[in-house]
């Protein structure tokens, strides 16, 4: 059901410093910051030949990333995103197997302009999983 790895998301306390590390120290191509108010984050994408790294920073006081950084002030891996062909079919199949979809269970538009869903980490080896329709 899952396809390619789309990205690994890392929550960071300082988006500009993290972007500079990937750009200047590691020599990666780094996008401009992009505010995603529906998700409470500002993101930067690090483009790699085979996938992307998404750097996440809180946008607003109610950001889920603010809570993550309160527990892990230095930042860290927040979620892993896999591609799926049909997000509604994937959701229905996962729910039928007992997996929990976070939020109201309906896809939202993600940073790439495509529908996304998040799956409860307790159902996936302690990792928050994002599904993105391709």
Distance CA 108, CA 83 (A): 15
Task: Tell me which residue of 46, 53, 65, 40 sits closest to 6, measured CA to CA.
Answer: 53
Give the Cβ contact number of residue 85 at 10 Å: 11
- Determine whether 130 is an active site residue: yes
> Could you tell me the two tokens for 122?
């307790």
Looking at 16, 36, 47, 130, which residue is catalytic?
130
Residues identified as active-site: 130
């Amino acid at each position: 059901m899952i396809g390619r790895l789309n990205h690994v998301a890392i929550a960071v306390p300082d988006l500009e410093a993290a972007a500079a590390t990937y750009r200047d120290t590691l020599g990666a191509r780094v996008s401009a910051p992009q505010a995603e108010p529906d998700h409470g984050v500002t993101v930067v994408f690090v483009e790699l030949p085979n996938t992307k790294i998404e750097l996440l920073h809180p946008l607003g006081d109610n950001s889920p990333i603010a809570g993550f950084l309160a527990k892990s002030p230095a930042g860290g891996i927040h979620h892993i995103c896999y591609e799926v062909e049909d997000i509604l079919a994937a959701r229905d199949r996962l729910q039928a197997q007992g997996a929990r979809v976070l939020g109201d269970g309906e896809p939202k538009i993600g940073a790439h302009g495509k529908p996304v869903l998040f799956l409860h980490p307790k159902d996936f080896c302690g990792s928050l999983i994002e599904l993105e329709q391709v």
